[in-house]
Amino acid sequence: MRRGSRHRARGAGPLRAVLTAVLLAGTTVLAAQGSAAAGPAPREWVADGRFAAPLAEHWTCTGDVRQLGPGLVEGRPGAYDFAGCVQRLPMGGKYDLTAVVSGAYAFVGVSDGTTGPGTHLWSNDPETRVLRATIDVPAGAEVYFHGWYGQGPYQVSYVSLVGPIVPDPCSTWSPTPTPGQTWVPSCHPLPLAPSTAS
């Protein structure tokens, strides 16, 4: 009985290795296909989202917003302001928004850069919370964080916007059509010239 058990155990090892190799090969092919079709790799778009540098280097703030130290910002809203900061974004598309916050009514989001509130996440909890969502970002938008009028202080230790999730850097702009000309988006490779070999 023991000898048979050992035999089965030895046979299971190679089988498991083969199955693992097949799964890995399939994953590699899918990853290669995905990367070939996806275009540029996602990147971080928020400058100093971990607040390592002085706040004023990358963020425009209003109200009582202070840096408690590297990696932590606190806002203290007043009766007529919500003590927040914004940063202009140069791109548009679909992105992953992530933030780490705590305190009273901490809001983090992306506005359309004008008067619209855009998309925002929020938490009202003394414990540290991670906020995350996949959102559509218009070109020229702003990422922001703030508290709420007359509420207690809030803290932010991380703001991130990574993407594009569905990369299509040419989808937000195209030139005016010109008769007799064709336009190839700069993010799409030019087609190969036909071979002249006989």
Domains, the chain: 43-163 (2.60.120.260)
Low-confidence stretches of the chain (pLDDT beneath 50): 1-38, 167-196, 198
Q: Would you call the peptide bond into 164 cis, given omega within 30 degrees of 0 as the criterion?
A: yes
Q: Which run of H or of E encompasses 9? A: helix 2-38
Q: Write down the pLDDT at residue 136.
A: 85
Under 8 Å between Cβ of 98 and 131: yes
Q: Write down the pLDDT at residue 166.
A: 54
Judge residue 133's burial from the number of C-beta atoms within 10 Å of its C-beta, 0-12 exposed, 13-18 middle, 19 or more buried: middle
